[in-house]
């Protein structure tokens, strides 16, 4: 693939992430993506086949970046929760793209199961939550920890302000600390 083609494809994916994270698959417009990427609209169809193919590529890009930036640490689930919280705070497009995925195209994007399968056995080996057979199994444990890290980012603004305090840096830091503590408790980390 010529260098210009690679650059055009990359610009299209970046523009698509922005467009899809704002408007979802149904609301996104390929003409806005092409304009934002300084590309011909035809390039979208040449590289990705259709709008759904572009959504899949944009989602794969976002999820791949997240998985590389925040690898699951089976030895430190509370630390993983804090790092994931920080990443999602800095990259709100990751939260939005995954929300649109669940709503509009659940089969889209990479299967992250492969990323986590090897870790699940290690989570089981390092966790004390399911040893007696009544605790939380490794898959549920990882899902809960990821959910804790996502909770702030998925909550309505009025709920976040329910305590009467705007989300200042101190409030965000306190919430992050609560996420890490909750992950510590649910994972029985020491």
pLDDT digits (tens, 9 = 90+) for 93-106: 999 999 999 999 88
Q: Does domain 1-59 have CATH number 1.10.10.60?
A: yes
pLDDT at residue 75 greater than cutoff 50: yes
Q: Where are the CATH 1.10.357.10 domain residues in the chain? A: 70-190
Cα 152 from chain centroid (whole Å):
13
pTM: 0.85
Q: What span, in angstroms and rounded, lies between the C-alpha atoms of 49 and 7?
A: 18
The two three-digit tokens of residue 73, written as one number: 């640490």
At 84-142, the pLDDT tens digits run: 999 999 999 999 999 999 999 888 767 666 666 656 656 655 555 544 455 677 888 88
Q: What architecture is domain 70-190?
A: Orthogonal Bundle (1.10)
């Amino acid at each position: 693939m010529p260098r210009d083609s690679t650059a055009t494809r990359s610009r299209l994916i970046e523009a698509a992430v922005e467009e899809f994270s704002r408007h979802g698959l149904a609301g996104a417009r390929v003409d806005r993506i092409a304009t934002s990427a300084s590309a011909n609209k035809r390039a979208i169809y040449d590289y990705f086949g259709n709008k759904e193919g572009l959504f899949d590529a944009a989602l794969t890009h976002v999820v791949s970046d997240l998985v590389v930036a925040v690898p699951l640490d089976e030895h430190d689930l509370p630390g993983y929760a804090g790092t994931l919280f920080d990443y999602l705070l800095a990259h709100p497009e990751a939260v939005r793209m995954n929300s649109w995925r669940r709503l509009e195209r659940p089969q889209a994007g990479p299967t992250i199961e492969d990323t986590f399968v090897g870790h699940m056995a290690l989570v089981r080996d390092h966790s004390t939550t399911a040893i007696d057979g009544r605790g939380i199994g490794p898959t549920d444990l990882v899902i809960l920890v990821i959910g804790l890290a996502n909770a702030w980012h998925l909550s309505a603004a009025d709920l976040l302000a329910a305590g009467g305090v705007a989300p200042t840096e101190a409030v965000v830091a306190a919430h992050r600390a609560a996420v890490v503590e909750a992950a510590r408790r649910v994972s029985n980390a020491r």
